[in-house]
Structure formats: C-alpha cells, structure tokens
C-alpha cells in the first residue's frame, strides 16, 4: 500500500524537467523510483531528466520501450531505466537484470505494476496525472514504513508544493 507524501503541480514540460533534475540529486545507489501514469503522462520525460542530470554527457536518452532496459554508467551514480510496458509475466523482470540494478545503482521503473511484487517496498512512487494539455500533477508516495525517510529526503522538492506554486 502506497502512502501519499505530497503532490506537486507541474505547469509544463520544462517544469517536469526541472523537477526531475532536483529529484536526481536526492537519489542514491539502491533507490528505486516507480514511475506511474497513463500513456503520454510524462514518465519518460521525468526519467530522461533524472538520467541527464546525473549523466550530463548523455544527450540521447531514448525510452527503453523495446530493449526494456537501458543502463547509464560512468558516473558516481549508475542509473538503470526499465520500461516494463511490454513485459508479459512479472518473473521476466529478473531476466532483465533487476537484481543487479537494485544492488548497483538508481533504478527507474516505468510501468512498475508489470513487475508484480518484485520491486522493494521502500521504492518511491511518482504517479503522474494529466491535468491539462501540458500541465501535470505529480503525486509522491511510498510504503508506510519508509514514509518519514522519503519525506525528509524530498523536503526541498516538497517545499515548492507547500507554497502552492507550480514547479
């Protein structure tokens, strides 16, 4: 069960990219971020922003829809980017190297529901809701037993939401 930490209004794609950049620098090896939302919600935009913030030399960060996983190495924080949209069985996630990803770096997972129960309960969930043609709402949540830990770590992002401002 995911417990909501806070929500942010995102005005446009540039705001989504800025939010991803701030989030990137709060993540550590071993962290898992579940990116949830409908097709076209902005999961890949947010993931791309996180990856490019941690790996500035990566100019082309494609969606891993067809390879299912992309690994970005060479920095202090390696990033594994999974897109599980085409996964047929939850067990297949282990064949993609999930175990290595969980041990070695930051793990970003689009369509995490297709992994069944494979993702740790300590994962951060970012649910992206469409609120307009270009605007979004990001709902940050996590398992109840990691609620306070994530809330403290994300306080700089949450400060924007408390003021009610668009990010």
Residue 144: per-residue pLDDT = 67
Give me the pLDDT at residue 76, please: 72
Q: What is the pLDDT of residue 160?
A: 54
Q: Taking the domains of the chain in order of start, what are their residue ranges?
A: 2-162
Please tell me the predicted confidence (pLDDT) of residue 123: 94
Alpha helices in the chain (DSSP H): 13-24, 43-54, 92-95, 98-104, 147-153, 155-162
Tens of each residue's pLDDT in the chain, 167 residues: 788 999 999 999 999 999 999 999 999 999 999 999 999 999 999 999 999 999 988 777 767 666 889 998 876 789 999 999 989 899 999 999 999 999 889 999 999 999 999 999 999 999 999 999 999 999 999 986 777 889 889 988 876 554 334 44
For residues 8 and 66, give the distance between their C-alpha atoms in angstroms, rounded to a whole number: 30
What architecture (CATH level 2) is domain 2-162?
Answer: 3-Layer(aba) Sandwich (3.40)
């Amino acid at each position: 069960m995911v417990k909501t930490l806070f929500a942010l209004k995102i005005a446009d794609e540039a705001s989504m990219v800025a939010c991803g950049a701030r989030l990137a620098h709060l993540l550590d090896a071993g962290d898992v971020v579940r990116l949830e939302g409908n097709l076209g919600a902005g999961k890949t935009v947010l993931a791309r922003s996180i990856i490019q913030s941690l790996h500035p030399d990566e100019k082309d960060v494609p969606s891993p829809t067809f390879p299912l996983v992309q690994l970005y190495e060479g920095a202090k924080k390696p990033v594994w980017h999974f897109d599980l949209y085409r996964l047929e069985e939850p067990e297949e996630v282990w064949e993609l190297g999930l175990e290595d990803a969980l041990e070695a770096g930051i793990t970003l997972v689009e369509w995490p529901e297709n992994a069944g129960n494979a993702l740790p309960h300590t994962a951060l969930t970012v649910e992206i809701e469409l609120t307009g043609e270009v605007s979004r709402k990001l709902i940050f949540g996590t398992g109840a037993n990691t609620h306070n830990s994530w809330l403290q770590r994300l306080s700089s992002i949450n400060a924007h939401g408390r003021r009610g401002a668009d990010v």
